[in-house]
Amino acid sequence: MSSAPLLTSILTIVAGIIFFFLSFLFEWVERKAVARIQKRVGPYFTGPGGIFQPFVDFLKLLSKTEAISKGTELLFYRASPIIGVTLLTYGFLHLPFLSQSPVLNFNGDLLVIFIVFAFTCLSYLMAGLSLRTPFTVVGTGRLIVQYSLYELIFLSSFALIFFQAGSATISDIVRYQMINRPLVLYQPIGFIVAVFSLLAKLEKPPFDLPHAKQEVAAGWMSELSGRTLAYMRLIGNMDYLFSISLIVTLFLGGGSGPFASQIIVLWPIYFLIKALAIALVLSYIEGVAVRVRSILLPMRLGIPLTSLLVVQAVILAIWRMGLW
Amino acid sequence: MGAVSLPKSDGTTVKLVPSESIVDAVKEIATTHPHLVGITAVHADSNIELLYSFDNFRGELRHLRVILPDKQPSIDSISGILLGAYIYEMEVRDMFGVNFNGHPLPNTRLLLPDSYPAGAPPPLLKTVTMDQLMKLLDSVQELQPPSPAIPITGSSRYSAESVVILPFGPYHPALKEPEHFALALEGEKIVEARPRIGYVHRGIEKLAENRTFLQALFLVERVCGICSFHHSWTYTLAAEKLLGITPGARAEYLRTLVAELERIHSHSLWIGLLGYWAGFDSMFMWLWSARERIMKLLEMIAGNRVNKSYITIGGVRADVSDEKLKIVQREIEEFKKEFKKISEAVMSYEPLWERTKNIGSFTAELAISAGAVGPTLRGAGIPYDIRKIEPYGAYPDLSFEVITEKGGDVLSISTVRVKETFESIRIIEQIVEKIPSGNPVPQTFFMGTSKEGEAFARTEPPRGELYYYLRGKVGSRNPYRVKIRTPTLPNLVLAAEALKGYTLADVPLILTMIDPCFSCEDRAIVYVKGMEPLMVKLPRSVPANLSLGCPI
């Protein structure tokens, strides 16, 4: 989409601010949903239904004294939140949240997603390894293993999308879904696999090994405090929203829906509703999940999801060949 | 029956053994009586008397008594014969300064703080008064660096490159209470684990010697925050035997009622925590919300949720009306329904099985050698339950099953606990039906003096066999010696053994399958330099003419 640079700048700022505040909303949704499953009330004090609690938590952490241990690699420690927040916001601008066309786009921008994934993980690694204590070392080690597993799965499921839509540009994939149908109807298995591997990416149960508190205290987050902790938590929230939005874009047709092409305002509303639905599904899995044993991680995450993707690929190939 | 006065050392059940031949005597006795209940040390008449108690899992106890001089006491270690003995020996070494030759951990402390001076007299000797102990701890200028639990260099079996010593605790989110495990890790695999406890020493055994029999009852209740009633009950059983007092039938039933409610709340607490340790927080929340019903019942009966202070020597402190018993009956039915629903859902949940089945496996032989008790031992298939083999309270009149499971892993122990909860519900239903009438509250609370003699008592708290030893001196208002052997101490030996070969991810589950209660084990003196203003003045011996202001 070729728009004036000024418009792009304004849209960038608007989308960035929306991304920042929406990520707190999604944390609230997740906390409320998990609390309901666990017979608790969840946050309820700040704002209606405690809706502002995650944001207030963030502000409070910002104001806390930061304890930096001796021997911390300050470069890593300071750079990690910057990398994480910047890259995730940049990545979000490539998703069609506000309208059918993303704020930023170019040919083949699906590959930006991989850079964002890699750099988010890198920012965690840098935060974790800036001080090497037993807990951070074990936690970061687990993070690397987990990353190498879900990265492969994501890559493969995107390849299948590319295979069907015939384009690695996000806006083209959305347009393909609007002309035909959302990809979830063509690739249901791929959709399920992507949602499941999201749990691994976001370090949610049952794949919350990198910071499994009963095993490795806070894992790679053990040495963080104050504003760095606030920003690393923000990165976690942004990662959550970004990944869900990605699934909505690639599998659920973004904000498309009845009358969305006539009434422009409906696009972000539909998008949000779909994203909230996925957040609820994730929260439900979180609520009933038991953490996998670390040595069984490849068995529970890598092998079953990869083989499911192979099945999906075979089905897709047969279907396409029959069509051609 | 639960409490037995020890007969004189005539060679039948209590055998006097010379200190040189202790190893041979233990070897002989362990063939028929393999369960070491505990090693009790008493300092009396310039001697240190060691009492080794053995059980054959049928309640036929045999004891070995060794008398050592209190100057440089030394005896051979029996940990080569019975594995669990090493932790009892460490306790005696810390508290009485007895040197055990051939002990596997010759220089490591178990209970005493590292700041305790090396040459200072051990705290539980009768020659050490409270004032001396305070002065001694005051004189400590700096903390000694703790000796490493697993030496990395020197004669170590591991090369320093391949093994990481991971400190697990004293402050760790998986542990409810402070204790420390040094875990030698090769990658994520554990090759060795050594416990270090004693972070919450309170000196209860020493304090109890400075209080009257009745005051000590409220003190020992504070040994544990979960099985508090069982501690006071076991102490009461021993004291009643020593002092020759019998409680009424209704009192026995009411004691049993509170004890079984305590078992239900402890077991559902643990099963909930099993979910927490496995990374299944919802299970934790569900079970703890169900448990709240039991806590409210306890509050209704005893007026308090945790430290119930319900029992007294000779009875209980308040009767429970029929209306309240009806409420107990109604609420326990509701709890049963709720617990059944939750436990059936979670115990058949495959991901939870994966975390618990064949995790922390141990054999029955290892469990016996470590001296394991309670659900831990029953999870390996040995029906050892003090309620059955040495019935006390109202248990002789009540019918219940001793639950055992084959296997010996986290899952089998969890199953034992779930089934035992249902048995406890059955017991409570029977109590409400059968409870006799009468006055369970004694006319006056015991304020008298002791007789000469010794007695011990055992009960079955939720965690397993609890052992109290009491000695009285004629004409004294205070017990001469109170010895407490909590169930976690031997179970901890087993857990440390079971850890070997498993991964770090399994540590929380294996460590806690024994339902550890570390604070229960810690009964020594704690003292932290710089905390002087917070130190509570320890009470001196209670004067004989002291009247207790309140009617308790």
Residue found under tokens 């490539």: A94
Residues B39/B69, Cβ–Cβ less than 8 Å:
no
For testing the chain A interface, which of B168, B274, B280 should be mutated: the one with the most A CBs within 10 Å?
B280
Percentage of chain B beyond pLDDT 70 is 87
Closest in B164, B279, B282 to A291, CB measured: B279
Structure tokens at A213: 């508190």
Closest approach of A154 to chain B, Cα-based (Å) = 24
CB atoms within 10 A of CB B338: 17
Does A304 reach chain B within 8 Å, measured CB to CB?
no
Give the nearest chain B residue to A284 (CA atoms): B282
Does B355 reach chain A within 8 Å, measured CB to CB?
yes
Does A285 reach chain B within 8 Å, measured CB to CB?
no
Q: Give tens-digit pLDDT for B4-34.
A: 455 544 344 788 888 889 999 999 998 999 9
Q: Give tens-digit pLDDT for B460-481.
A: 999 889 999 998 888 888 899 9
Q: Give tens-digit pLDDT for B347-366.
A: 888 878 888 888 888 888 88
The CATH number of whichever domain residue B415 belongs to comes to: 1.10.645.10
Residue B204: what pLDDT?
A: 86
Residues of B in contact with A288 (CB under 8 A): 282
B285–A138 CB contact, under 8 Å: no
A206–B351 CB contact, under 8 Å: yes
Q: Is residue B133 part of a domain?
A: no
**What single DSSP character describes residue A256?**
-
Residues of A in contact with B414 (CB under 8 A): none
Burial class (CB in 10 A: 0-12, 13-18, 19+), A150: buried
Does A144 reach chain B within 8 Å, measured CB to CB?
no
Residue B536: what pLDDT?
A: 34
Q: Is residue B90 part of a domain?
A: no
Residues of B in contact with A196 (CB under 8 A): none
Q: What is the mean pLDDT of chain B?
A: 82
Residue B521: what pLDDT?
A: 55
**What single DSSP character describes residue A169?**
-
B280–A291 CB contact, under 8 Å: yes
Q: Is residue B370 part of a domain?
A: yes
Residues A26/A240, Cβ–Cβ less than 8 Å:
yes
pLDDT exceeds 80 at position B537: no
Give the nearest chain A residue to B166 (CA atoms): A134
The CA distance from A1 to A103, in Å, is 8
CB atoms within 10 A of CB B24: 12
Give the nearest chain B residue to A212 (CA atoms): B279
β-bridge partners, B184: B165, B192
For testing the chain B interface, which of A293, A296, A301 should be mutated: the one with the most B CBs within 10 Å?
A293
Residue B161: what pLDDT?
A: 56
Closest in A38, A214, A287 to B173, CB measured: A214
Percentage of chain B beyond pLDDT 90 is 26
**Cα-based angle B487, B488, B489 (whole degrees, multiple of 5):** 95
Give the nearest chain A residue to B184 (CA atoms): A134
Does A87 reach chain B within 8 Å, measured CB to CB?
no
Q: Give tens-digit pLDDT for B97-147.
A: 899 998 887 777 888 877 777 778 888 888 888 888 888 777 766 655 555
Using CA atoms, how far residue B13 sits from B8, B41, B54, B187, B390, in Å, is: 9, 18, 10, 50, 16
B188–A292 CB contact, under 8 Å: no
Closest approach of B107 to chain A, Cα-based (Å) = 26
Residue B1: what pLDDT?
A: 37
Residue B150: what pLDDT?
A: 52
Q: Which long-range contacts (CB under 8 A, 24 or more apart) does A194-197 make?
A: A194/A153, A194/A154, A194/A157, A194/A247, A194/A250, A194/A251, A195/A247, A195/A278, A195/A281, A195/A282, A196/A285, A196/A305, A197/A150, A197/A153, A197/A154, A197/A157, A197/A301, A197/A305
The dihedral through the CA atoms of A270, A276, A279, A285 has a sign that is negative
Residue B534: what pLDDT?
A: 34
Residues of A in contact with B187 (CB under 8 A): none
pLDDT exceeds 60 at position B542: no
The CA distance from B249 to B378, in Å, is 30
Closest in B167, B351, B508 to A289, CB measured: B351
Closest in A34, A40, A134 to B166, CB measured: A134
pLDDT exceeds 80 at position B499: yes
The CA distance from A146 to A200, in Å, is 7
B355–A289 CB contact, under 8 Å: no
Does A192 reach chain B within 8 Å, measured CB to CB?
no
pLDDT exceeds 60 at position B447: yes
Residue B144: what pLDDT?
A: 56
Residues of A in contact with B173 (CB under 8 A): 213-214, 217
Q: Is this complex scored with an ipTM above 0.85? A: no
Q: Is residue B151 part of a domain?
A: no
Closest approach of A320 to chain B, Cα-based (Å) = 37
A292–B351 CB contact, under 8 Å: yes
Q: Which long-range contacts (CB under 8 A, 24 or more apart) does A261-269 make?
A: A261/A178, A264/A99, A267/A96, A267/A98, A267/A99, A267/A100, A268/A97, A268/A98, A268/A99
Q: Which segments of B480-537 does DSSP mark as H helices, in order? A: 488-498, 507-512, 518-521
**Cα-based angle B518, B522, B523 (whole degrees, multiple of 5):** 150
Section B515-542 average pLDDT: 43
Q: Is residue B70 part of a domain?
A: no
Residue B519: what pLDDT?
A: 59
Q: Give tens-digit pLDDT for B147-168.
A: 555 544 333 455 555 677 777 7
Does B504 reach chain A within 8 Å, measured CB to CB?
yes
Does B28 reach chain A within 8 Å, measured CB to CB?
no
**pLDDT tier at B199, thresholds 50, 70, 90:** confident
Spans of chain A, pLDDT less than 70? 1-3, 323-324
Strands, DSSP E only, in B56-171?
A: 62-69, 74-76, 99-101, 164-168
The CA distance from A240 to A20, in Å, is 12
Closest approach of A209 to chain B, Cα-based (Å) = 9
Question: 3-state DSSP call for residue A211?
Answer: helix
The CA distance from A91 to A109, in Å, is 10
What is the extent of the structural domain holding B261? 204-519
Q: Is residue B112 part of a domain?
A: no
For testing the chain A interface, which of B171, B188, B289 should be mutated: the one with the most A CBs within 10 Å?
B188
CA atoms within 13 A on the CB side of B176: 18
The CA distance from B212 to B311, in Å, is 16
Q: Is residue B85 part of a domain?
A: no
A37–B166 CB contact, under 8 Å: no
B504–A290 CB contact, under 8 Å: no
Does B180 reach chain A within 8 Å, measured CB to CB?
no
The CA distance from B306 to B232, in Å, is 12
Give the number of domains in chain B.
1
Q: Among residues B189, B102, B194, which one has the least CA distance to residue B156?
A: B194
β-bridge partners, B482: B470
Residue B152: what pLDDT?
A: 43
A290–B285 CB contact, under 8 Å: no
A209–B504 CB contact, under 8 Å: no
Residues of A in contact with B180 (CB under 8 A): none
Q: Which segments of B41-187 does DSSP mark as H helices, in order? A: 85-96, 130-138
Bigger pLDDT: B199 vs B453: B453
Residues of A in contact with B354 (CB under 8 A): 290, 292-293, 296
Residues of B in contact with A208 (CB under 8 A): 279
Does A221 reach chain B within 8 Å, measured CB to CB?
no
Using CA atoms, how far residue B174 sits from B126, B170, B282, in Å, is: 38, 10, 16
Q: Is residue B57 part of a domain?
A: no
A294–B280 CB contact, under 8 Å: no
Provide the number of CB pairs (under 8 Å) joining chain A to chain B: 75
Closest approach of B462 to chain A, Cα-based (Å) = 23
The CA distance from B53 to B64, in Å, is 7
Residues of B in contact with A38 (CB under 8 A): 281-282, 285-286
Residue B235: what pLDDT?
A: 92
Q: What is this structure's pTM?
A: 0.82
B354–A292 CB contact, under 8 Å: yes
Give the nearest chain A residue to B510 (CA atoms): A215
Q: Give tens-digit pLDDT for B48-72.
A: 999 999 988 888 888 999 999 988 8
Instruction: Give the list of residues 6+ apart from residue B10 with CB closer than 8 angstroms, or none.
Output: none
Closest approach of B506 to chain A, Cα-based (Å) = 7
pLDDT exceeds 60 at position B340: yes
Does B282 reach chain A within 8 Å, measured CB to CB?
yes
Does A138 reach chain B within 8 Å, measured CB to CB?
yes
Residues of B in contact with A299 (CB under 8 A): none
